[in-house]
Amino acid sequence: MAAQRLDGAARAAGILGEVRADLASPPLRGMRLRLASVSVGSHPTGSLYVRNQARACADLGIEFLPMELPADSDEDALVRRIQELNADPDLTGILLQRPFPPGFNARRLQAKVHPDKDVEGMNPANLGLIVYGTPRLAPCTALAAVDLARASAVPFKGREAVVIGHSEIVGKPIAFLLLNEFATATIAHIETRDLSLHTRKADFLFVAVGRPGLVRGEMVKPGAVVIDIGISRVQGPGGEVRTVGDVEEESVARVAGFLSPVPGGVGPVTVAMLMRNTAAAARLQTAKVPSR
C-alpha cells in the first residue's frame, strides 16, 4: 500500500490561520509587527524561500523589511547592524539570511540576535530552552518537521525516532523536541557506521542531509512516518532542474505509512513556523519581562 502523503501546504494553511487569529487578539491586536531580513550582498529575494517569507508576511499584515549590507562588508559590520536592530524598539523580529559569506562565524552572529527578537530560534539561549524541555522560540525547520510528523496522528511517546543529520539548525533540535515528547531519539550522521541498522527500527524517520536518494525503501520500517527535510536541485534527463529531497520517493512510499513530499512537505510548514515565531517574539516584547 502506498504511504499516506503528509501535505505541508494544508498544514501550513492551518498554522497560518492560527497565527492570523493570534494577531487579531490581545496582546498583539493593533500592534505593528516588523521583521528585518538581513543579508550581506544582494538580498536573495530571488530565492523561493525568501519570496515565500515575504508573501506570508504580506498576507498576515506583518512588515517584511529586506536590509542589504554591501557585499564587501565584514562580520563586524553585520554584528553592528544586528545590535542596531536589537535596540530598535519598532522592530519586533530579526532574520539573518543564509548562507553567510565564506569565513563568517554563524554561531557568533546568531548569538548577537536578541533572544526576544530571534524568530529563527538560533540564539543559544533559545536553543538551550529546548534542552530544558521548555521551548520558546525554536528553529523553524525543526518545528515544522516535528509538526508534520504529528499530523500523522501516530503518537511519539515510547516510539523509536531516528534523525539523520546532526546540524544545530535542523537535526539536533528535532531530536530534543522529540525527547520532550518521550520518543526514544537517535541521531545519525556522516560517521554513522551502519545507517540502515538504525533507520530500519525507526517508527519516525527524519532525514536532513541534502543527499538525494540517501534513504531507499529497504532502509525503512514498514508503516513508518518518514519526514524528508532535504532540499537539493537536480537536473533531470531532459535538462530540466527540479527540487528533490533525500528520500527515494518511489521505493520509500511503498514501505512507509506516511511520507512528507519534497517539494510541498516541510518547506511550506517552515515558513508558517517562521510566522508563528514572529508572533511569539512580538508577544515576548509586549510582556516587558527581561529575557532569560
The nearest distance, CB 139 to ligand NAD, in angstroms, is: 9
CB contact at 8 A, 272 and 15:
yes
Q: What is the number of other CB atoms lying within 10 angstroms of the CB of residue 25?
A: 9
Q: Which of 110, 141, 260, 285 binds ligand NAD (CB under 6 A)?
A: 141
When CB distances to ligand NAD are compared, the closest residue is: 210
Q: Which of 135, 165, 212, 261 binds ligand NAD (CB under 6 A)?
A: 165
CA distance 196 to 215: 9
The nearest distance, CB 259 to ligand NAD, in angstroms, is: 15
> Which range binds ligand NAD by CB under 6 A, 18-26, 100-108, 129-137, 164-172?
164-172
- Under rule CB under 6 A, which residues in 231-290 are in contact with ligand NAD? 231-232, 266-267, 270
Beta strands in the chain (DSSP E): 4-5, 34-40, 63-69, 93-96, 160-164, 184-188, 204-207, 225-228, 232-235, 241-244, 258-259
- Using CB under 6 A as the binding rule, whether residue 208 contacts ligand NAD is answered as yes
Instruction: State the cell numbers at 197.
Output: 541498522
Q: Which of 66, 210, 213, 264 binds ligand NAD (CB under 6 A)?
A: 210
Give which of 95, 23, 92, 34 is closest to 60, Cα–Cα. Answer: 23
Size of the site for ligand NAD (CB under 6 A): 25
The number of residues making up the chain comes to 292
CB closer to ligand NAD out of 31 and 106: 106
DSSP 141-175: HHHHHHHHHHTT----TT-EEEEE---TTTHHHHH
φ, ψ (nearest 5 deg) of residue 186: -120, 135
- Using CB under 6 A as the binding rule, whether residue 229 contacts ligand NAD is answered as yes
Q: Binding mask 14-53 vs ligand NAD (x if CB under 6 A, - otherwise)?
A: ----------------------------------------
Residues making contact with ligand NAD (CB under 6 A): 141, 164-167, 169-171, 188-190, 192, 195, 208-211, 214, 229-232, 266-267, 270
